Structure 1
């Protein structure tokens, strides 16, 4: 049994009475460990509370990329192992980290059950306070996590609403114009019929309209000056032919590839007496095709945005699934598009050979949201947002970079801490990166790193290609 005077030298026990030290000594034992020997190992049953008497220990946490060193110390009295055993059934059942001796070491080892009994009996008020801090803090973090998610959802919803508004407004405007144009087109056909146009001539006119409609959007690109010159030339020709509102009809016909040669074809097909009315109908029918194209484009854009929102939310899929990271990234970028300043250039560099990975898709989308939001916030109105992917034999790699001012060296080690933020009051909760880190490391067994210099900041996410999530 360890001498109580040796226990008293340890800062953890220095204020205990002789009676308490004697009981403590009788319940525990002294164990020795050689260099590089594990004292407790992450993932094993948490059945001991250990206190350093002499030597040196290192705390490590295992990740998919190997063991990450958390701290190294030789201070007598430092402790580890089942430190939450006093929480009873709510305590962790396995060690959440490893302790390894880095030099010949002596430890005072107390069984977790005896440690829990002693602390509960000796410090009942402290137990209640510790439970309150532990579970109250956990509940507070869950509440703030939910708030953070709602804040991110609000940001995304605003962007999505803006993006949906543009094609929706375009579709409404086009439909409104279509009503007027279709009415005018019907009246023009009636006038042609009353003027006695022959059926075969009308058929030729319809064929020309179909040819013009098929040309909309497929013509070789022209400069604004070339388009203006073509409209002037066609407008003059229409006016000479006696077509009313010639200058209003010319732009629609020119956009469909119609020119003075086409004008001569119309005259040849329908005759000079019917040409003015036929050309008015042809211009209106062509404009109808253009409006229909605008409605189609707008509704396809809305459908694409809704598909992106569905992919982003993962609402129709199981939480854990085999995911295509590029689909997740693209859906997040699509949702953000309405919030990206015109001065921000978005660059994507995707390794399309990357295999699908097992993951919680919705949670990873929250990570991309947090990282992209931070990058945009750092750059302000101008800069370049880069999203790129790569993979090796074991890991998928996603990097999100920005050209903002960068993360100062003095705070790089703190940016993943909960509630730590460099934003002004009311601008951020300081939990975005903490949540992202816990999703990547805790839920997926991956890593989240940062490297930064002024004008060149990168957040790197590494995820295992094979299932290791918890």
Structure 2
């Protein structure tokens, strides 16, 4: 501060819009308590976080009002308007902030009317007591409404993700249960066929040759087989069945599809007969081999189901970032992929096209919060396409930032909401289907928590949201 001038006069107070409706006694009351403070250009009048002890009103000059958010100063107001005010503006309210919420800096030599927070609170309370109560109620009501809506948004999103995850987990779990039940039946069949073979008086040497034939069949079944047309598959089954029938195998046409599916052929039948070289009960022998191959297939199904469940659990851990540091240098791709897993059910019928840049650099950030961003953007894209379309996910980078683009081929954002799309409670969804906080939350996380930006382009061919994340920044 450069200087404090003598007491302000009533005539000047009356020119300020905040006081223009006051009578002379009230203006005199203010004049006796206010000061005029003069500042040079480009100096801090008050700083964010300092005790909020006064209201400042611009008499002449210019002011710049900023708020520090995650490593950068966000401009709130830059004006030369006479009467613009800031500081302890809620000193009259119940539970008002005890610290300045912003920083006020002059942009040129300036004069300010200074009124202590206590005197300002007294003036407002005396002049408009009912308005104070109304404003208090309105402020608390808006805060409570927004808090409740945000909580509801999070609960709804959690419910959708839980339903998607339950559906994704149910499929492999059910497959594992079915395969286990069938496996129990195949093991019973193996025991039965072994009993029949044992009853024919197998020698240790013959058992060894039979086991060798079993190992060869299992190894052959584990190898990839060429894709066959329906006609080729039918011919293969026919040739196997005929050869089994020739060696005296009962139910040859029931066994043939199993052997064909496992990659066997008629020559394999001859190889088994030649290798074992015995007059044993071939129906029991090939029945035992059939159950062996079916058992291997079922165990593969159980392994695949268990692997799928394990992958889903891993995706959940990746999505929530359990047991990981809150802030870290992160690769955005795993978070996007885990989000796709969590939203897999909703994306049913939608084609996902990935264009991920190779060697994408990491960015400093909060991975769990960025996953909320991917969730909101992908979820909105799915809604825009109404269950069918092309979802495009693209990543790229330049020297300063990493970019993530989420695009859909839906009808585009309506003209009526384009300018306010990121505002709280603005939604393009039907009444009751959206809170209007998804994009607002996404932008808040990107801009305030990561110092980036969220923008979009739209038209009849679709909409693309672009997230820009700086490659280096001060951690907030």
TM class by smaller structure: 0.7 to 0.9
Note the aligned Cα RMSD (angstroms).
3.2
Distance 1:467 1:202, change over 3 A: farther
Report how far residue 447 of structure 1 moved. Answer: 2.8
The separation in 2 between residues aligned to 1:431 and 1:403, in whole angstroms, is: 22
Q: Which of 419, 428, 431 does residue 425 from structure 2 map onto?
A: 419
Report how far residue 292 of structure 1 moved. Answer: 0.4
Counterpart check, 1:197 vs 2:180:
no
The separation in 1 between residues aligned to 2:441 and 2:265, in whole angstroms, is: 62
User: What whole-Å deviation, never above 9, does each CA across 1:71-120 have from its counterpart, x for those lacking one?
Assistant: 5555543333442333476416233366664x776543434454344334
The separation in 2 between residues aligned to 1:243 and 1:343, in whole angstroms, is: 49
Distance 1:93 1:236, change over 3 A: farther
When normalised by structure 2's length, the TM-score is 0.86
Distance 1:409 1:354, change over 3 A: farther
Q: Which of 206, 229, 235 does residue 241 from structure 2 map onto?
A: 235
- Counting only pairs closer than 5 Å after superposition, residues 411-450 of structure 1 correspond to structure 2 as 411-450=417-456
When normalised by structure 1's length, the TM-score is 0.87
Report how far residue 352 of structure 1 moved. Answer: 4.3
Match of 1:277?
A: 284
Match of 2:154?
A: 149
3-state SS in 2 of match to 1:51: strand
3-state SS in 1 of match to 2:361: coil
Match of 2:183?
A: 178
Distance 1:272 1:92, change over 3 A: farther
Match of 1:268?
A: 274
Q: Where in structure 1 are there 5+ consecutive unaligned residues?
A: none
CA contact (8 A) 1:379 1:404 kept: yes
The separation in 2 between residues aligned to 1:333 and 1:98, in whole angstroms, is: 45
The separation in 2 between residues aligned to 1:230 and 1:381, in whole angstroms, is: 41
Match of 1:127?
A: 132
User: What whole-Å deviation, never above 9, does each CA across 1:209-237 have from its counterpart, x for those lacking one?
Assistant: 23333344531431333434322322232
The separation in 2 between residues aligned to 1:406 and 1:59, in whole angstroms, is: 36
Counterpart check, 1:162 vs 2:156:
no
User: What whole-Å deviation, never above 9, does each CA across 1:222-263 have from its counterpart, x for those lacking one?
Assistant: 133343432232223223333222233223222332112211
Match of 2:333?
A: 326
Counterpart check, 1:79 vs 2:79:
no
Match of 2:56?
A: 50
Report how far residue 195 of structure 1 moved. Answer: 1.9
CA contact (8 A) 1:416 1:433 kept: yes
